[in-house]
Chain A
Amino acid sequence: MRETFLNCLVERANVDSRIVLVSADMGYSVLEPFMEQFPDRFFNVGISEQNAVSVAAGMALNGKVVYVYSIIPFVTMRCFEQIRVDVAYMNTNVRLVGVGAGYSYGPAGATHHAIEDIAIMRALPNMTVCCPGDPLEARALVTQSFDHKGPMYLRLGKTREPVLHAADTPITLGKAAQVRQGKDIALLTTSTMLEQGCALSDYWGQKGVSIAVYSYHTVKPLDVALIQFLIQEGYKIITLEEHSIIGGLGSAVAEVIAESNRPVPFKRIGIPDCFTHHVGSQASLRKLYHLDSFDLEFQ
């Protein structure tokens, strides 16, 4: 996804002089094509994320559309108050581009895991939160970010994610995209869990349980209309995310369901409220925390 992001950015930067890329010393072997083609619009500001975000906001105040690139914890949490004041409060055209959703950096350890970012970013007024689930969504959302007014957070996976949508699927910011049809259960995934969601739908489909899969590639603004439709149609609803069970997609969907005055069978699947001390790959951590399977028992 990070390659998709960068290719898309380079294409646009060729025809749009507002596009600027800022790195806090991250992006080795990823950002070079932009650096080489637009040396005057690429800034490595050094290992200083607070400064990076405020500098980006300063450029945005003077008309630029600024992409700040780093690993998720460093581009969201290290500089959160700079994001709050200089990006969200001042409503600047800064795009925070974080790589390494969930356990993408599995064996690197918990400092590099991104498990609370959706929660904190969606709490900020003015912030749009995009969590693409495949390269096609990433391309569409990056493309829609160029002329978007106000700040945006782009939560990317890492690299070599499979394409899950048909090539001509329209992807619209703020509108969930359906990937599998189904009539019993609606599985709402976000970010890196789209592939897993499709696999689970296929698995249960063979057992006669029909599961629709939707990709919530935009968590804020949330596609509330779809949830209301699913409630109306009597679907059981499951959310699936590689993020803490607190504050992410599951919480956002729960808020809508709780205020619907309808008894909706509902289940959240996400990372439990803990830092992991287990050393392992993304796949092994997903397995450890049961993100790769679910039973059909609803509370």
Chain B
Amino acid sequence: MTNQAIATDIRRSILHMMHASKSSHIGSCFSLIEILVALYFNSLNIDPNEPQKWDRDTVILSKAHASAALYATLAHRGFFPCSYLERYYIDGGLLPGHLDKTCVPGIETSGGSLGHGLSLGIGMAMAHRLDQNSGKIFVILGDGECNEGSVWEAIMLASTLKLATVTAIVDYNKIQSFGRTNEIINQTNIAQRWESFGWEVYEANGHSIPELIGFFDKPQQGPKVIIAHTVKGKGVSFMEDNLAWHYKSPNDAQLAQALKELE
């Protein structure tokens, strides 16, 4: 199965999850699918049969409102049955709207409040360094999330400690919950900002899986960040780059049309 076919399958699963649960954040999920496929189906040292493997690579989805994307990716990667996805965000369900690490295998951190994940990842990398564990840490942040001051506290610490096992990925989809990211808090020079704080910075097409894999696998001397240029709602024409799909869930007709576009 090609990476692109996997990405399409994951998007389909998410469409069904959002349609059934009538929940938000499909746009935030769709901008991130290629990033997750590049990681979980290519770059990561992980084993779905041994999710707690000692030297595994760790992904922290700090923008945990896109939990559905992670659940669907983990299910398709074999961490748990795809049938679990029917129990997303429903009464008596299994998978909450924001991540709870106790709910299924493969979720490394609980979350839902922004600005926590990078610090958690740095702490994990510091513990790994003490234990001489070569596991890498990948932290996925939203661009809006970078408004949080704690993100910048973490950025400063990682470069001070020269943590060469930490990779941050900014899902730069340019929309946050109340509008255009750069109109709310201007960060058009986001790459220079990270660079000036001592990180190795790469800008990527966040929907090109080969390009992402290239950057994820690139050797690093210190912490590295991939500014992944993405499109919110990517893959479904009427959802793309549209703030409304931060909130809306597809109705029956929209589900049918979206599935058709993904054929």
CA of A59 to CA of B160, assembled, Å: 17
B113 touches A55 (CB 8 A): no
Closest-by-CB residue of A relative to B137 is A58
- Bound CA span A56–B110, Å: 15
A146 at the interface (CB under 8 A from B): no
User: Do the beta carbons of A40 and B130 come within 8 Å of each other?
Assistant: yes
Give the docked Cα–Cα distance between A280 and B125 (Å).
45
Q: Classify the secondary structure of A's interface with B.
A: helix
* Stretch of A44-52, A102-110, A115-123, A244-252 contacting B (4+ beta carbons < 8 Å): A44-52
Contacts of B149 in A (CB 8 A): 50
A48-B101 in contact given A59-B126, A85-B110 (Cβ < 8 Å) = no
Give the shortest distance, in Å, between A208 (CB) and chain B (any CB).
Answer: 57
Closest CB of chain A to B160's CB: distance in Å? 8
Residues of B within 8 A of A82 (CB): 116, 119, 150
Cα distance A144–B2 in the bound complex, in angstroms: 53
Q: Of A27-35, A61-69, A222-230, which stretch is located at the interface?
A: A61-69
Smallest CB separation, A278 vs chain B (Å): 33
User: In this complex, what residue of A is CB-closest to B111?
Assistant: A85
Contacts of B190 in A (CB 8 A): none
A54 pairs with B150, CB closer than 8 A: yes
Stretch at the interface among B151-159, B167-175, B180-188: B151-159
CA distance A43 to B161 in the complex (A): 10
Residues A62 and B127 in contact, CB atoms below 8 Å apart: yes
Check B123 against A89 for contact (C-beta < 8 Å).
no
Q: How large is the interface on A (under 10, 10 to 19, 20 to 34, 35 or more residues)?
A: 20 to 34
Q: Check B109–A61 contact: CB distance below 8 A.
A: yes
B120 at the interface (CB under 8 A from A): yes
Q: Say yes or no: B150 contacts A58, CB within 8 Å.
A: no
Q: Does B255 sit within 8 A of A, measured CB to CB?
A: no
Check A59/B150 contact, CB under 8 A, given A46-B156, A90-B101: no
In the bound complex, what is the Cα–Cα distance between A85 and B109 (angstroms)?
10
Specify the chain B residue showing the minimal Cβ separation from A81: B113
Q: Is A12 an interface residue (CB 8 A)?
A: no
- For the complex with contacts A54-B119, A59-B126, 8 further pairs of A-B residues with Cβ separation under 8 Å are A20-B130, A48-B150, A50-B153, A51-B154, A54-B120, A58-B121, A64-B130, A66-B123
Residues of B within 8 A of A (CB): 101, 108-113, 115-116, 119-128, 130-131, 133, 149-150, 153-154, 156-157, 160
